[in-house]
Every structure is written in structure tokens, then in C-alpha cells.
Amino acid sequence: MQHQVEGGVLRLFFALPLPADLRESLARWQQGQAEVEGWTRPEGLHLTLAFLGERPAEALSTLLTVACPIADRHHGFKLWTAGLGGFPTAGTTRVLWLGLESSPALEALATDLRETLATAGEAFDAKPFRAHLTLARWRRARAVARFVPPPPIPFTVDRLVLFESRPRGGYTPLGDWNLRRV
């Protein structure tokens, strides 16, 4: 899938989309929490590997070219969700996230993507990779401990996607690559 854009600026990131059953399970978990504004819409849940930020539309063709060989080098793999945490701290936070169990396959994919982007001269947020699913963003800090984490959920990762972040939290896939089948 490719998206043709002429001129303008795009807000971009590479991510792993989540399977529908995981998104639905997390939506049920969110609905079971006390009413709190700021929950991430289930259809927007994803696992960010590299945030590129605002890029000129002309950069899109290079990014689409860079991603294909990365997907070809990695097999699909299984992940498990883990406990809750937050940014900036796990005590009181404005961003609530669901962590993931350690995965050498995930770390290898994220490292390969980031190294390939750096070698190609493509800028990205170089903060250390921390695997998580953002569940909520709040204006007022909240205690992470007030939320009981969902039970661990296994899921399979099989695609790499270049997303455009749209106003009001929508995400549009601009490129989509299957990871190698096992």
C-alpha cells in the first residue's frame, strides 16, 4: 500500500499494528476502568518502533524504500503484554502504557530499523527503544497504581507499517510490509 502526497509536511512513525482481538480485549479493559478522559482509541493502538516526527512529503519515497528490506530480514514473532507503567514515571503519570515481555525478536527488529534509518541519514527520535502500548494520555497526572493491569495477552506480530499521525489522534498507513513467514 502506498500513499501519494505532493508538498506539505507529514508526521510519521514506523510501528507494528496490533491484531484486532488484542485491540478488542484492551478496549474491554478500558471500558471497565473508572471514567477517565484521554483513553487511546482501540483502533489506534500500535507498537511504535521509530518516531520520525514531521517530515517533508518528499521524504516518503525514501522511507518506503528503506522499510522493505528490513521486513524481509525479520520473521513474524509472538509477544506478550505485561504490567502497566507511565511516562514520565510509574508513580503518577500523564501517559499510561502497557508494557511487553522482553523479546529478542522485537529488539532485533527495532534495532535494525533504527540503524537502517540512521545509515540512510533519516532522522528519528533517538530515545532508547522501550516496548509499550500507550493506553491513555491525560491532562492531569494520575496514579498508575489505581489501575489493575489487564491479564497478560499473547499476540503475533507479522507486519511493519509506516503511519502518518493525523490531527485528533487518527493514523493513516502509508506503507505496509509483511514480515517473513516462519
CATH code at 10-79+102-127+157-178: 3.90.1140.10
Residues 166, 5: Cα–Cα separation, whole Å:
14
What is the per-residue pLDDT for 1?
39
Q: Is the pLDDT of residue 88 over 60?
A: yes
Which residue(s) pair with 98 in the sheet? 84, 133
Query: Catalytic site residues?
Result: 46, 132
Packing angle of the helix pair 60-73, 104-119 (nearest 10 deg): 140
Q: Give the tens place of pLDDT for each residue, 95-152.
A: 999 999 999 999 999 999 999 999 999 999 999 999 999 999 988 888 999 899 999 9
What is the per-residue pLDDT for 28?
94
Confidence of residue 18 (pLDDT cuts 50, 70, 90): very high
Residues 54, 159: Cα–Cα separation, whole Å:
23
Q: Is the pLDDT of residue 168 over 90?
A: no
Calculate the average pLDDT of the chain. Answer: 91
The residue that leads in pLDDT, 6 or 171, is 171
Mean pLDDT of 52-79: 95
Residue 73 is inside which H or E element, if any? helix 60-73
DSSP string, 19-67: PHHHHHHHHHHHHTS---TTBPPGGG-EEEEEEEEEEEGGGHHHHHHHH
Contact 164, 11 (CB under 8 A): yes
Q: Is the pLDDT of residue 32 over 70?
A: yes
Contact 49, 16 (CB under 8 A): yes
Percent of the chain predicted with pLDDT > 90: 79
What is the per-residue pLDDT for 3?
44
Percent of the chain predicted with pLDDT > 70: 94
Confidence of residue 36 (pLDDT cuts 50, 70, 90): confident
